[in-house]
Amino acid sequence: MIKTILVALDASNLSESVMASLHELQLENVDKIVLSHVLSEQNPDLELAADRPHGYADNLAYRQIEQQLQAYQEQLPCPSDIEIVTGDPAEEIVRLANIYKANLIVIGNRGLTGLKRILQGSVSSQVLEDAPCSVWVVKPPVA
C-alpha cells in the first residue's frame, strides 16, 4: 500500500501533467504527499558584485514556486507538505524520498533524446536508477 508519495515538480508545463496523473491514484488512502521543487545551484565560482543588491530575483522566483505548489496542495484530498530545496535535482529528489520514506516518486520526463539528453542529462533517468522506491515517470502530452 502506498503511504507516502514524493511528487517532483518543476516550472515547466509538464508539472500540470504530473499533477493530473497523480489524481489517477486513490489519494484518499495516502498518508502524505510531498510536493517538491529543486532549485538548481548557481555557479559557486561566480563572484557577486558588491555594489549591487542580491537576492531579490531569487526571492521572487522562490515565492512564485511556493505559490504554485500551494495551489497544487489545495487540490489534494490528503495531508501534504511542500519542499523547496536547492541542489542537483536528481540527488535532492532521492534525498527527499529517503527522508520522507516515500513509497512512490512521481516525476515528469521532458522527452529529451539524442545529443540533448547526453548534454543536459535526464533527471528522471537518474532518479529511476538511484531511488529507494518505485518511480512513476510521466511523459509529456503528445501534441
Residues 6+ apart with CB under 8 A from 79: 31, 32, 33
Q: pLDDT class for 41, splitting at 50, 70, 90?
A: confident
46-77: per-residue pLDDT in tens? 444 444 455 555 677 889 999 999 999 999 99
Question: Which sign does the torsion angle of CA 128, 100, 90, 74 carry?
Answer: positive
d(CA 94, CA 96): 5
pLDDT at 143: 63
Lowest mean pLDDT among 16-25, 90-99, 100-109: 16-25
* Mean pLDDT computed over 73-91: 95
Answer yes or no: are the C-beta atoms of 135 and 15 closer than 8 Å: no
137, containing H or E segment:
strand 134-138
Name the average pLDDT for the chain: 83
109-131: per-residue pLDDT in tens? 875 555 444 444 588 889 999 99
d(CA 1, CA 65): 30
pLDDT at 139: 87
Lowest mean pLDDT among 7-11, 33-37, 108-112: 108-112
Cell numbers placing 41: 545551484
pLDDT at 112: 53
Phi, psi of 103 (to 5 degrees): -90, -20
61, containing H or E segment:
helix 56-74
Q: pLDDT class for 5, splitting at 50, 70, 90?
A: very high
